[in-house]
Homo-oligomer: A and B are copies of this chain.
Amino acid sequence: MLSKKTKYGLKALTFIARNGDDVPVQVGVIAKSEQIPQKFLESILLTLRKSGVLASKKGKHGGYYLRSEPSEIKMTDVMRVLEGPIAMVPCVSLNYYEKCDDCPDETLCSVHKLMIEVRDSTLNVFRNTTLADLSSVD
Asked if B125 and A121 sit within 8 Å, CB to CB, the answer is: yes
| Given the contacts A108-B137, A121-B124, A122-B122, A115 and B2 also touching, CB distance less than 8 Å | yes
A124 to chain B, nearest CB (A): 6
CA distance A137 to B135 in the complex (A): 44
Asked if B88 and A2 sit within 8 Å, CB to CB, the answer is: yes
CA distance A33 to B81 in the complex (A): 37
Query: Closest B-chain residue to A126, C-beta based?
Result: B118
- What residues of chain B lie closer than 8 Å to A110, measured between beta carbons? 10-11, 14, 134-135
A-side residues, CB < 8 A to B, are 1-2, 7, 10-11, 14, 34-35, 75, 84, 88-89, 102, 108-111, 113-115, 117-118, 121-122, 124-126, 129, 133-135, 137
The 4 closest A-B pairs by CB, nearest first: A110-B134, A14-B110, A121-B121, A2-B88
